[in-house]
Amino acid sequence: MHQPALYSRSNDMQRESVSRVLREWAGRLRWSREEQEAVLDVGCGPGDVTAQLLLPRLPSSVRVLVGHDVSEEMVRHAAAAHAALAPRLRFLCTDIAARDLPATPLGACAQQLQGFHKVFSFFTLNWVLDQRTALCNIFSLLRPGGEALLVVVANSPLHDAFLALQKHPRWASYTHDAISLIAPYHYSSDPINDFSAVLQEADFHIHSCRLERVSYNFPSMQEISNAAISLNPFLKRIPEELKTKFIEDSMTEIQREMSKVLSINFNETFERNNKTLSYSLISAHVEKITSS
């Protein structure tokens, strides 16, 4: 995920889910009539979801929307692409699992704003191994009474495919740490229970935490390939001359895994040209309850 332009051309699948979740959930959040609120988007990527899907859903009283990402390339791209919306929309670079959050640009920004009223995060926390620190950080970034809407992939055939690449002798040395790069709930038999446990450890009050099965129909194989390349955590390690072969082998694994899910869920036969990706998504609405 270090190619912002490719990612923002290839994230229709994520955009479809974010739009649906925002339509359904944004109205459940409590917005203040008196206060000008500050909002954070954790893992904003190239900023298109932040600027085009999240910002238009926020009340006009929101004074600032901050997008942050661990990737400098993503943040640079987001800031340049959406400069016209500054200073109400701004971007900065910080790891949400940073151990010393107050010393980071995001920590400094939160301090200046006296905390965020709302935090959103879409398709990001599943890339963070240290769930506990990330969620404690989100808790500490919120003001008392602040709310968060968190959308996290529980498991996906894409992650199975990334893991399968470890078994290829040619790719094993580049993908040896796949397990630490795929979704933390991938092998969980009860992702809601596991995610809820971390939320509670971070002291959140859980209003709702649910798991849903989502299917996305890609218009073409090329679009599956683009989405998979834009999400592939190993690609930047692969030597230039091996990249084409690596992408080809990744696609074979992805198609195999996509078809497996189809045949389990819909009893369909293995279909090499299947273009439906079926994955599980956690959506959680949580609050930092004001202490009395």
Ligand X SMILES: C[S@@+](CC[C@H](N)C(=O)[O-])C[C@H]1O[C@@H](n2cnc3c(N)ncnc32)[C@H](O)[C@@H]1O
Question: To the nearest whole angstrom, how small is the minimum distance from the Cβ of residue 284 to ligand X?
Answer: 15
- Of all residues in this chain, which one has the CB nearest to ligand X in the complex? 45
CA 146 – CA 139 distance, rounded (Å): 9
Is 49 one of the binding residues for ligand X (CB under 6 A)? yes
* Interaction of residue 11 with ligand X, rule CB under 6 A: yes
DSSP reduced 3-state for 205: strand
User: What gap in Å lies between CA 135 and CA 169, rounded to an integer?
Assistant: 37
Q: Strand ranges (DSSP E) for 164-232?
A: 205-217
Site membership for ligand X, residue 257 (CB under 6 A): no
Among 25, 91, 116, 122, binds ligand X (CB under 6 A): 122
Question: Binding string, 125-144, against ligand X, x = CB under 6 A?
Answer: --xx----------------
User: If you write DSSP's letter for every residue of 234-271 in order, what string do you get?
Assistant: SGGGS-GGGHHHHHHHHHHHHHHHHHHHHHHHH-PPP-
120 binds ligand X (CB under 6 A): no
The residue among 11 and 259 lying less far from ligand X, judged by its C-beta, is 11
Segment 160-179, which members bind ligand X (CB under 6 A)? none
Residue 156 touches ligand X, criterion: CB under 6 A = no
Are the beta carbons of 27 and 52 closer than 8 angstroms?
no
184 is a site residue for ligand X (CB under 6 A): no
* Residue 70 in the binding site for ligand X (CB under 6 A): yes
- What tokens does 200 get? 């509670």
Q: What residues are paired with 121 via a beta bridge?
A: 42, 150
The DSSP bridge partners found for residue 279 are: 214
Please select the residue that binds ligand X; options are 91, 116, 123, 174, rule is CB under 6 A: 123
Which residues form the interface with ligand X (CB under 6 A)?
Answer: 1, 11, 14, 18, 43-45, 49, 69-71, 74, 95-97, 122-124, 127-128
